Chains A and B, each alone.
Chain A
Amino acid sequence: MTTLDLRTAVAGALHRVAPEADLDQVAPDADLREAFELDSMDFLTFIEELYSRTGIDVPERDYPLVTTLERCVSYLASRSGPAPTR
């Protein structure tokens, strides 16, 4: 998956838990939980949605690595194997 695909996946997953969420409105390094008032249950749903969209299961210990858009995308990229060469 490309970075753009992953960003789309993150946006889609976020939209499921916070339908009013607009990723363009937040800084790439903003904490998604704070920016969109996600509680732990919302966050779990977010993780689940990421899984259904990317096939990547983020284990609990890695939750801190997916809390901002920037980190989330690069984490997913690192888990989805080597980036396609061109």
Chain B
Amino acid sequence: MPSLGADMDAGTVVEWRVGPGDEVHRGDIVAVVDTDKADIEIESFDAGVVQRILVPVGVRVPVGAPLAELGGGMPVAVPPVPTTPVAAIGAPVAAAPEPAAALAEPPAAIAEPPTLVPAPDSATISPVLRRLATHLGVDLATVAGTGPGGRVTREDVESAAAAPATAVAAAPSTRSGEHTGMRSAIAALMSRSAREIPHYHVTTQIDVTTAMRWVERANLDRAVTDRILPIALILKATAVAARQAPELNGLWIDGGFHPAERVHLGIATSLRNGGLVAPALHDVDTKDGASVMRELRDLVGRARAGRLRSSEMADPTMTVTNLGEQGVDAVYGLIYPPQVALVGFGRIADRPWAANGMLGVRPVLTATLAADHRATDGMRGARFLGLIDHLLQEPDQL
């Protein structure tokens, strides 16, 4: 069970996309996991042939627990595995040997609550615990056992009842349930951020006349499907600035800063039915505006459809939040731990602007950096914002 963000400590397998005998490649989507926030498509860390599925559908396990066993060698008498995730979605799991046959539920089973799938060790749960679980409204199938042999203990049931998110995970099909799980996941993460991270904020106003004109001009020649929004250029500038300010792009883990080698911008995305996720847009610094735009739309679309991938949840190196569309001028955010920086953008508004001794009206964007004072000082943060400003003045160079 991969960690899909600092706010996750357990997850429930809701679907297997592969079964024993299937060959998987690194990055293939092998399963779908329900975190408290969303259903996430899990990509394989490794290549090989699935030997055994260790965690059946409907079972909740802690982060770090192995989900399946991969081995080398070629699959025997199994048709070639579809290599694209899209093709894999509808494909039934073929030729799974008996032990796993019951585990590899057809996709039709996804929508059903996990309660319908009994945990394999449910027989070992005492009637007393069952009554307790029923009384507390805890779904035993979603409780990860910490007792001997993974047995569910009284403490497990009680802590499952105490954590609202856990109880909610038992009913992923209800919309209000998603809200509650999402809310408590955000609550836990942001509380940790406010508790652990000594934030400092710096802010600057950026004249985006040139950038806006550049976007406008670029769109003139583009078909509607290739059009870009100013945010694509702004993200690109942020990513290039992040590459030049490695102290702000990375993670604070175990009392030390670990710079990231690549720039994966977490995109704070509000969901249409409430809630917030911040999946990663990968390698933004290396892509042109049109590619950033295309991938951004794909990412936001999948975030809202609940189809994010594990790598996108796990590896943002810095987060960007853009609340300009909501009409606010500036965003003073909280950092997503264990990241050390969050960049907030407000709206682009026409404002009086003095330049070259003249007062004029220019489109102006307010950029704010929230940064971890353990990792950097205000001077570095100020330079970073200055860099974004500078880059946006020369969009052709981006």
Give chain A interface residues in 31-50, CB to chain B under 8 Å: 37, 39-41, 44-45, 47-48
> Contacting B229 at CB < 8 Å: which of A18, A20, A40, A51?
A40
Q: Which residue of B lies closest to A36 (CB)?
A: B272
Q: Which residues of the other chain, B, contact A45 by a CB distance below 8 angstroms?
A: 297, 301
Contacts of B296 in A (CB 8 A): 41
A24 within 8 A of B: no
Could you tell me the distance in whole angstroms from the C-beta of A51 to the nearest C-beta in chain B?
5
In the bound complex, do residue B272 and residue A18 qualify as a contact, i.e. CB atoms below 8 Å apart? yes
Residues of A within 8 A of B231 (CB): 40-41
Once bound together, how far apart are the Cα atoms of A45 and B297, in whole Å? 9
Q: Which residues of A contact B325 (CB under 8 A)?
A: 39-40
How would you classify the secondary structure of chain B's contact residues: helix, strand, loop or mixed? helix
Known: A18-B272, A39-B325, A60-B216. A44 touches B223 (CB 8 A): no
Q: How far is the CA of A48 from the CA of B216 in the complex (A)?
A: 17
Chain B contacts with A in 324-356, Cβ cutoff 8 A: 325
| CB of B281, distance to nearest CB on chain A (Å) | 13
Sample of 14 A–B contacts (CB below 8 Å): A20-B272, A39-B325, A40-B231, A41-B231, A41-B297, A41-B300, A44-B224, A44-B227, A44-B297, A48-B225, A51-B225, A57-B224, A59-B219, A60-B220
Q: A58 an interface residue at 8 Å Cβ cutoff?
A: yes
Q: State in angstroms the CA–CA spacing of A57 and B223 once bound together.
A: 8
Interface size of B in residues (CB-CB distance below 8 Å): 15
In the complex, what residues of A have CB within 8 A of residue B227's CB? 44, 47, 60
As a 0/1 sequence over residues 206 to 225 of chain B, the CB contacts with chain A under 8 angstroms (1 = contact) are: 00000000001001100111
B-binding residues in A (CB < 8 A)? 18-20, 37, 39-41, 44-45, 47-48, 51, 57-60
Which chain B residues lie closer than 8 Å to A19 at the CB level?
272
Whether A48 contacts B229 by the Cβ 8 Å rule is no
Nearest chain A CB to B381's CB is how many angstroms away?
A: 27
The residue from A18, A37, A47 contacting B224, defined by CB atoms under 8 A apart: A47
Q: Which B residues touch A41, using CB under 8 A?
A: 229, 231, 296-297, 300
